[in-house]
Amino acid sequence: MADKLILAGKEFDSRLIIGTGKYASGEALTASAKASGAQIATMAIKRVDSTNHTDEIVKPLTDLGITLMPNTSGAKTAKEAVFAAKLAREALGTDWVKVEIHPDVRYLLPDPVQTLKACEELVKDGFKVFPYIQADPVLARLLEEIGCSAVMPLGSPIGSAQGLKTESMLEIIIANAHVPVIVDAGIGAPSDCAKALEMGASAVMVNTAIAASADVVKMSEAFKYAQLAGRLAYEAGLAAKSSSAVATSPMEAFLKEAMK
């Protein structure tokens, strides 16, 4: 069994966090959530749209015992993000919030200045803050210092499935963080999830790689095992890499003696 994940004082068995976007239906989302074993899910907050009926998502997920992490997606400034966080707190009765501020619509890269500003205010207001950021070790340290509950550096742009393009920066963040590091965005395959956890990330967040899969239940299961494999490997300790071969069997000596 792997160690438990602890986020904002709460314990979890799974190190996979799921996003709830892009699923074909509420039923697909619920089935996927169940199959993945995820215990934390993110969601957004928007003005109600009476012309577009959307499936109920809160109760189906809380019925599975899932902890909800509302995000501030759609916010372009710290002010909007703080407002969205406070609305979500009222809507869900949770003080958890994923601060997500990406005014750039092409790459959806997070705005570091607005993110830091929003996080400062929300931490002071008693929120448990999980900021989505570029894999910037300096920003990660600043966010930790102001009291964020974790940092969520990206692997590659949201929905791009490019994997851990920011690997070298993630290594620096992980090596120096005293809060959990949750690799978020761009995870394209279960192997990316395992890799991030092998590197020492505390958790991984995945949305598109599961939701856009041809078989969301099967892919959810793949990620369930990937997060477990990655964490167990990290706890066991990976073998050191070598630039040359290191034999694992004494074959050469045996053969020479037999041929005399």
Partner 1 sequence: MEIIFNQSKKENIKEKTTISAFLKDHDLLKEGVAVALNGEIVRKADFEKTVLKDNDSLDVFNMVCGG
Cβ atoms of residues 71 and 110 within 8 Å:
no
How far apart (Å, rounded) are the C-alpha atoms in residues 231 and 217? 22
Q: Catalytic annotation on 165?
A: no
Under DSSP, is residue 68 helix (H, G, I), strand (E, B) or coil? strand
207 is in an annotated binding site: yes
Tell the smallest beta-carbon distance from residue 48 to partner 1 (Å): 5
Choosing from 34, 86, 98, 260, the catalytic residue is: 98
CB-wise, 57 or 232, nearer to partner 1?
57
CB-wise, 71 or 227, nearer to partner 1?
71
Q: Does 220 bind partner 1 (CB under 8 A)?
A: no
Tell the smallest beta-carbon distance from residue 208 to partner 1 (Å): 7
How far apart (Å, rounded) are the C-alpha atoms in residues 40 and 6? 12
Question: How many angstroms from the chain centroid is the CA of residue 98?
Answer: 11
Question: How many angstroms from the chain centroid is the CA of residue 170?
Answer: 13
CB-wise, 23 or 234, nearer to partner 1?
23
Tell the smallest beta-carbon distance from residue 92 to partner 1 (Å): 6
171 forms beta bridges with none
CA 229-162-31 angle, 5° bins = 55
x/- track of binding to partner 1 for residues 18-57 (CB under 8 A): -xxxxx-----x------------xxxxxxx-x---x-xx
Catalytic residues: 98
